[in-house]
Structure 1
């Protein structure tokens, strides 16, 4: 990254439970909208269904998406709240939301295939992808799959696919991802928001390796990115770094995760421009696997602080949110 720069009712109930956000009694009824590219549903595109969802609603709108590939830019604006996108394929790979903008044409922040600003968003059983870098000669370009700038977002059984800068976790974000898959090359989880990844596979796909995270956590924000009981993999051994600080106070913790031999054991944290990783808030805690060795370049979270760095501490905020 450039440092400058069942049925419908059951689905609706599941979505409410998965986000941890119960609609108040005064809310209108939950809504289900359907999408199928072949014209067999209410809408042919995901964006058309989002546009049709009630604005500023505390009742959940569940948008079911028939298996297939949907090549479109998807935007969930801030006035489309409590939206769930539910893929209907048998696996997340069967429902794919994809586009191919890049930083060279749109700027990094505007290159995403999906933009989410509406609070209480949820996604399950689908893939969000930016396939720009799959074209010959475009490898290594910044091309965001998901630009997330929303409070209380939940992702379950989701794949995020990209190259450099796959996933922007922007500063309004408080989010939870579980049982999912994220891949990229350089800084492919980046930004200043707060997010927990749980039981998620994070894959560095470049043969020369690269840093997974580029956190820009504001100094006044206690929590940034937590990888909890995740699995870190890569295309090659002894090449992948855990991260580098996009801004000086970036906060990242890899906790109780499996670090495979892809990790560059001698130096898993690196500098970014004038930002020293040693001054950032980077820690590991009780990780396992061949990539989990310890040395002076691998700060370990003290046991005395472990209770203050749990998934729930990261997610609770001031409202006690608990999507787990």
Structure 2
């Protein structure tokens, strides 16, 4: 599943998209949802959707019967999937959307891949919980994608697997959360104010939670020095590991928070390995976190954490092109 995708019958050619989306009406689909709906159900091969530059304001859902959807944006910074729901907002029937229901994008199909896209929730910094993406599909991969929001930006459910390469995630409070196994490979995480980067809810019997490899942890210039925690446990057995991160000065010296419950200190697994940057401070971290040895860090490699559990990307010398 982790091997790169290449068309065997046309090894030296680009992949022509099955569907193309453009907001200006110059192609068959003006909304991303319509293009997804056009994909046959229960596929076993990829349905490639090329999305041209534009801001697509719609709540988008990839349903459980829509496996093997591959979304490919023209430009990550200018191909934006956007909405502004939030947890306390009322639906037409008077009920609240709730945290999980507030997402701009719902990825429930298996073997989902996205490249060169921005997933954004614009509800605002004071809106409370407002997801940019809710991932329920078993396996998914993201390359060169941006996830923008504030509280609870990026969520993935228990028992799911995600691989993120060269991605950017922005938020304030618990902006990477949930119970999945996720490997963040050379990504950027940016805090928009004081708060917490992660709020893992790793199930007790799950071997891995979040692993961040060579990621850069940054913040808005307005975020105060020493005001952001690396994480707090949404559930007692949260697992989060930072391998060779570059940490900005906004990271608190103690590093981790117990969510106001000392019992979590005996069950959560929080660790770092060879942290650098102004926010690196191994000697001042909370006593119940870990500084891994080189040997211990080998237990959290890409191959061991996620290698066979996520769908692959198209090869670097191939692109998906519009019809």
Partner of 1:104: 88
Report the Cα offset of residue 285 of structure 1: 0.8
Partner of 1:217: 202
* Root-mean-square deviation (Å): 2.3
Q: Report if the CA contact (8 A) 1:98-1:131 is conserved.
A: yes
Q: 1:21, 1:76 → 2: CA distance?
A: 21
1:313 paired with 2:304, answer yes
1:230 paired with 2:215, answer yes
TM-score by length of 2: 0.85
Partner of 1:113: 104
1:51 paired with 2:42, answer no
Partner of residue 188 from structure 1, selected from 156, 167, 175: 175
Partner of residue 57 from structure 2, selected from 64, 71, 76: 71
Q: Report if the CA contact (8 A) 2:237-2:264 is conserved.
A: no
TM-score by length of 1: 0.85
Partner of 2:257: 270
Report the Cα offset of residue 279 of structure 1: 2.9
Q: Report if the CA contact (8 A) 1:160-1:181 is conserved.
A: yes
SS of 1:210 mapped into structure 2? strand
Q: 2:2, 2:295 → 1: CA distance?
A: 31
Q: Report if the CA contact (8 A) 1:150-1:172 is conserved.
A: no
Report the Cα offset of residue 19 of structure 1: 6.7
Q: Report if the CA contact (8 A) 1:315-1:322 is conserved.
A: no
Report the Cα offset of residue 144 of structure 1: 0.4
Q: 2:209, 2:47 → 1: CA distance?
A: 29
| Higher RCO, Cα 8 Å, sep 6+ | 2
How many correspondences in the alignment?
294
Q: Residues 113 and 248 from structure 1, CA distance in 2 versus in 1: closer, same or farther, beyond 3 angstroms? A: same
Report the Cα offset of residue 46 of structure 1: 0.3
Q: 1:24, 1:252 → 2: CA distance?
A: 38
Q: Report if the CA contact (8 A) 1:234-1:240 is conserved.
A: no
1:123 paired with 2:109, answer no
Moved over 6 A (4+): 21-25
